[in-house]
Amino acid sequence: MIIHIDMDAFFASIEQVINPRLKGRPLIVGSRAHKMRTVVCAASYEAKALGIHSGMPSEDAFGICPNLEFVAADQAKYIWTSEQIFELLKGWGFVLNYASIDEFQMDILEHPEPLKLVAQIQEQIYANFNITASVGIAKNWLLAKLASKINKPNSVTLINEANFKDILSATPLTKACGMAGKTGQVLMAQGLKTCWDLYLNLPGFFAENPGKFEDIPEKSKSIGHSYTLPRAQTNPRFISAWIRVLSEMVGERLRQKNLVAKTIQLWLNIPEKGDFLAQKTFAIAANDSYEIYLRTLKIMTGMAQKRPKIRALGVTASHLSPQEYLPLLIEEKRREALVKAIDKINCRFGDNSIFPAQVILTRK
């Protein structure tokens, strides 16, 4: 069993603990110091209640609430707190992974009383840091992550066989990881409204190994995702947008597992011609989604199919090795935190920030 621990309004909550004057106040944390010329990267629950949310220009936020409190983001502070929480959670003795700067995943195996355990973890976090976390419990990380987001803040949500259909039916598709933005909109335009619709149409999405999005079997230690289009498509921009989506998913999972990949493989199903598979091994291993996308496009160009009519496609990374890079310097930590923050933004707020123009093209 997996538990997904997601800190509530993490950056804003930390600022409110450090400066008690901000406690109970609508507060935004801006990505840059100029309070009128930045973007909200975190909003306190008091600000959220007014309709202020992450990703919003700060000017708009001040338009809603002129008395808004403002703090410029201080990554070092958040990373430090995140590391302290990680250390604390490690004490439980279960396998623990970072999902992002403020999200942690713990494999609690067949723990007999998961709800009791989670209550203890939440109490421990609050006792040590004065901030709250929402926790999801489920059989795999994707469902656990979804569960953690359903009743925020300071919540516990368990998804099991008995309530799986009810919970997914009551949860909008846009709550699922990676579905908050344009990808979700593409699927909603195809008539998928809830997570249950997503499950019925793409059963692999919530499966143990997500992937239809299907998980391409991890036979030889690879990580891959594929997608079957509702109908065959020739538009190269549409195809490359889906390659981008799949590259994002592959990159995110590589980073989650702290892996880098040297080999990228592209699989295309062309109804009239069959399956095409091509791969390329690169000198430098990568787990950056954009790099994976560029490499996949390179492979696609090499396949020399002229406007193929594609029904399904897949991107797989293999030749995996641990990411040995240990960020020691503050600057390097900040860079890593940035990538983690991008992952977080992607999962929570959608894909706008990552592939703005491109995915809009898929809607044509």
Catalytically active residues are 103
- Are the beta carbons of 172 and 149 closer than 8 angstroms? no
Residues 29, 4, 69: CA angle, nearest 5 degrees:
15
How far CA 184 is from CA of 164, 174, 194, 216, 229, in Å, comes to 20, 6, 10, 22, 14
Tell me, what DSSP letter sits at residue 217?
Answer: P
Looking at beta carbons only, is 10 or 199 nearer to Mg ion? Answer: 10
CA atoms of 272 and 226, how far apart (whole Å): 19
How far CA 283 is from CA of 101, 258, 261, 292, in Å, comes to 29, 19, 10, 13
Looking at beta carbons only, is 297 or 345 nearer to Mg ion? Answer: 345
Looking at beta carbons only, is 57 or 153 nearer to Mg ion? Answer: 153
Q: How far is the CB of 10 from Mg ion (least distance, A)?
A: 5
Burial (Cβ within 10 Å: 0-12, 13-18, ≥19) of residue 345: buried
Residue indicated by tokens 């996308």? 293
Those residues with Cβ within 8 angstroms of residue 309's Cβ, 6 or more apart along the chain or in another chain: 232, 233, 234, 270, 271, 272
Q: How far is the CB of 73 from Mg ion (least distance, A)?
A: 14
Q: How far is the CB of 150 from Mg ion (least distance, A)?
A: 13
Looking at beta carbons only, is 6 or 351 nearer to Mg ion? Answer: 6
Q: How far is the CB of 71 from Mg ion (least distance, A)?
A: 17
Q: How far is the CB of 133 from Mg ion (least distance, A)?
A: 8
Burial (Cβ within 10 Å: 0-12, 13-18, ≥19) of residue 207: middle
Positions that interact with Mg ion (CB under 5 A): 6-7, 10, 102
Looking at beta carbons only, is 136 or 211 nearer to Mg ion? Answer: 136
